[in-house]
Amino acid sequence: MHPRNPYQNPPDFQQLADAYPPLKPYLVYSYHGVTIDFMDESAQRSDSSQMGCRVLIYPPYSIIETQNRRLTEALLYRDFQVTINIPEDRICPPVPNRLNYILWLQDVVDATAIAEPTDSERKISGIDMSFYNLSSSGLPFSPSLDFCCNWSVVTHRGLASLSFTSSLLSGNRLFNPDVDEKSLESARFNVRRNNLDDRITVVKSKPSGSMLLHLFESNSDGASTSNGVHFDFTMCNPPFYRNREEILRSAEAKEFGPAAVCTGADVEMIAPGGEVSFVGRMVQESVEIRTKCRWYTSMLGKLSSLTEIVTLLRVHHVDNYACTEFVQGRTRRWAIAWSFGDVRLPDCLARISSTEAQNLMPARNTLRQSYPQAKSLVHLASVVTAICALLHDISVRSPLPGEQCAGAGLEIIIAAPRDTWSRAARRKKAHGITMQTEPDSSAEPILVCRIVCVEEGDNRMREESASGSIKLRFDWMKGRDRSLYESFTSHVGRKVAAALGAC
């Protein structure tokens, strides 16, 4: 679960129902306390044990569905101060699970804002491509809220650490396309009811029309920035299945009974070709739209779909992408983000460690070098600072308060307007071939990199040698040329090692 997700533990259902009385009829009282989870074996066991047996009695689907709706509404009402209506015959998104996606996306947008600090006044603008579409209660988790109202509420309540983007509150916009008239109607109702008309635009899309392109053509009013970016992100929870048979097969494979069965309308669950085709269409359109959107993202229900989408991205030579997974109880989901821009995400956001997905991961944007010779973090920090100050043409700055990494000994952000460190550049310099012109200070840097002094490593290593775990971490933040990033890290790394050796 995402570390900022406030639902690490089940809520106090009694308190929740007190705050949102429509939940009260669904409370289940057991020896173990109050729950609403009909599928919770402990709640079932308390009843059945009195009869000397352990039979799990599942209530009808309709009760589970209604109970889940009330739970989602209650959490959104109490924790996000939003009143919503979830249509009875549409999917009810589980709040903690969906919040994992939102928080990861929040991290992606934050990382992008840090890499482009000159743009910090801009408004956040996104497309909620049927992810939490407002119809099905996504309203409170729609990025428009997370990146403005609700996010500030969450932050204010101390449920999450202060986010960089929480300073980018007013004027954020969300476009919410859908094809389903019932969902659209409910979305419009929820938007009006929560006075969010100036933030959220509900758009009717055509099933046979474009998925994203039309939104860039018609809804760029006020959203486009000077560098031509119309949207910061797209997000999507696609219909997972190809047809009804696939839904039934998936339900049969689930060993935990009806709670695991999702009973949405066909338009929510089924798309021709399933989620791979749905997200694949977005990939194809993004190839045309390119940098007008910073990050295209989607959730995926199957690991095999992640494989197919990564393959498609590689076919289109998109190397700037990120994969993550969300594990919540018995449910596992994946998400992918891709970009045609030059902002790079750290490995903690872009890569996951599960062995079965390793061949799908993007190349590393976080490189580490160990310095056993360093006596302490302070020692390493003083050497790195001195070396970076001498790097020709490169600007060095300290991160702003919202940009700092937790637990770092020293942190600097370097920006290079041109290559002065690669072997080729140094060879040219050695042969007296100098640059004809001074670098243009207004031009985009070719490399932005965060250098962090950290103490990490396993406990055994720490016991043996405190200094064995002292490292430099290089996070690639911006740039198009991977070889420049890699050559920069080894150039600085060699200089640091030499300086430490000479100390």
Q: Shortest gap between Cβ of 181 and ligand SAM (angstroms)?
A: 9
Query: 204: exposed, middle or buried (C-beta count within 10 Å: 0-12, 13-18, 19+)?
Result: exposed
Amino acid residing at 294: R
Q: Shortest gap between Cβ of 463 and ligand SAM (angstroms)?
A: 47
CB nearer to ligand SAM: pick between 44 and 305: 305
Q: Shortest gap between Cβ of 253 and ligand SAM (angstroms)?
A: 19
CB nearer to ligand SAM: pick between 215 and 408: 215
CB nearer to ligand SAM: pick between 1 and 405: 1
Which run of H or of E encompasses 276?
A: helix 274-289
What is the rounded distance in angstroms from the CA atom of residue 31 to the CA atom of residue 432?
A: 82
Q: Shortest gap between Cβ of 447 and ligand SAM (angstroms)?
A: 38
Token digits of residue 464: 């043996």
Contact 261, 127 (CB under 8 A): no
Ligand-binding site membership of 9 (annotated): no
What is the rounded distance in angstroms from the CA atom of residue 306 to the CA atom of residue 322?
A: 11
Indicate the pairing of strand 321-328 with strand 410-416: unpaired
What is the rounded distance in angstroms from the CA atom of residue 180 to the CA atom of residue 284?
A: 23
CB nearer to ligand SAM: pick between 178 and 455: 178
CB nearer to ligand SAM: pick between 93 and 96: 93
- Residues of this chain that interact with ligand SAM (CB under 6 A) are 91, 93, 130-133, 136, 138, 177-180, 183, 205, 207, 211, 237, 239, 267-268, 271
Ligand-binding site membership of 69 (annotated): no
**Strands (E) located in 378-446:** 395-397, 410-416
CB nearer to ligand SAM: pick between 84 and 415: 84
Q: Shortest gap between Cβ of 248 and ligand SAM (angstroms)?
A: 17
**Nearest residue to the partner ligand SAM, using Cβ:** 130
DSSP characters for 119-145? GTTSPPEEEEESSS-GGGT-GGGSHHH
188, 192, 331, 353, 481 from 195: Cα distances, Å: 11, 5, 34, 42, 45
Q: Shortest gap between Cβ of 134 and ligand SAM (angstroms)?
A: 8
Ligand-binding site membership of 98 (annotated): yes
CB nearer to ligand SAM: pick between 69 and 173: 69
Residue in 372, 347, 341 with CA at minimum distance from that of residue 361: 347
Contact 268, 91 (CB under 8 A): yes
Q: Shortest gap between Cβ of 137 and ligand SAM (angstroms)?
A: 8
Give the residue ranges of the annotated binding site. Answer: 98, 178, 237
Give the residue ranges of the annotated binding site for S-adenosyl-L-methionine. Answer: 98, 178, 237
